[in-house]
């Protein structure tokens, strides 16, 4: 249903990787050329700044791609459409539901995490005293 619309995402992931490799190679080549011409400090600066810039580019590009994939997942949920390729976009996901192998939904929580366990009430002794700490010190619950 949305195959043509989602095809760009798989191409974009490859394009981002190819651009990162090209930028990395160009950074190394330019820094070697600068060092060979006698500008060692300039070459080292180019190498360091190129590596930092490349790291920032990769993080931001994959972050943007992740946002777009999340929007596609929301669209698929709205239209009740299952796309196993999109669910496995980042790889390593054997669960076609997209939960990374973890159970999802309200019935997936362990019994220890029921609604009653989420609310906090201080322990009350049968005598009407509230326990303040683990040592068992208590104080009267005056009215």
Least confidently predicted of 1-5, 73-77, 81-85, 96-100:
96-100
Q: Is residue 141 part of a domain?
A: no
In this structure, is residue 143 part of a structural domain? no
Q: What is the pLDDT of residue 90?
A: 74
**Does 74 map to a domain?**
yes
| Spatial distance between the Cα atoms of 19 and 68, rounded to a whole number of angstroms | 19
Number of domains in the chain: 1
Domain that holds residue 24: 3-102
> What is the token pair recorded at 142?
């005056």
95 band by pLDDT with thresholds 50, 70 and 90: very low
**Does residue 131 fall inside a structural domain?**
no
Q: What is the reported pLDDT for 122?
A: 55
Residue with the bigger pLDDT between 103 and 135: it is 135
**What are the φ/ψ torsions at residue 121 (nearest 5 degrees)?**
-135, 130
In a domain, 112, yes or no: no
Question: Is there a domain that residue 120 lies in?
Answer: no
Task: Lowest mean pLDDT of 8-12, 54-58, 76-80, 96-100, name the range.
Answer: 96-100
Judged against a pLDDT cut of 60, whether residue 61 lies above it is answered with yes
The chain-wide mean pLDDT, for the chain, equals 75
Mean pLDDT of 60-83: 87
Quick check: 59 pLDDT over 90? yes
Of 68 and 140, the structure prediction assigns the larger pLDDT to 68
Q: Is residue 64 a part of any domain in this protein?
A: yes
118 assigned to some structural domain: no
In this predicted structure, the answer to whether residue 30 has a pLDDT above a threshold of 90 is yes
Q: 41 burial class (0-12, 13-18, 19+ CB within 10 angstroms)? A: exposed
């Amino acid at each position: 249903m949305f195959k043509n619309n989602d095809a760009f995402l798989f191409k974009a992931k490859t394009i981002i990787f190819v651009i990162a490799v090209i930028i990395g190679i160009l950074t190394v080549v330019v820094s070697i050329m600068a060092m060979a011409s006698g500008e060692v400090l300039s070459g080292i600066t180019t190498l360091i700044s190129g590596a930092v810039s490349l790291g920032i580019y990769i993080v931001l590009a994959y972050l943007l791609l992740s946002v777009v994939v999340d929007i596609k997942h929301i669209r698929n949920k709205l239209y009740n459409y299952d796309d196993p390729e999109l669910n496995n976009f980042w790889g390593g996901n054997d669960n076609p539901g997209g939960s990374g192998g973890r159970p999802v939904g309200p019935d997936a929580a362990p019994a220890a995490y029921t609604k009653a366990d989420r609310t906090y009430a201080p322990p009350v002794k049968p005598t009407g005293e509230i326990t303040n700490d683990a040592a068992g010190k208590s104080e009267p619950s005056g009215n």
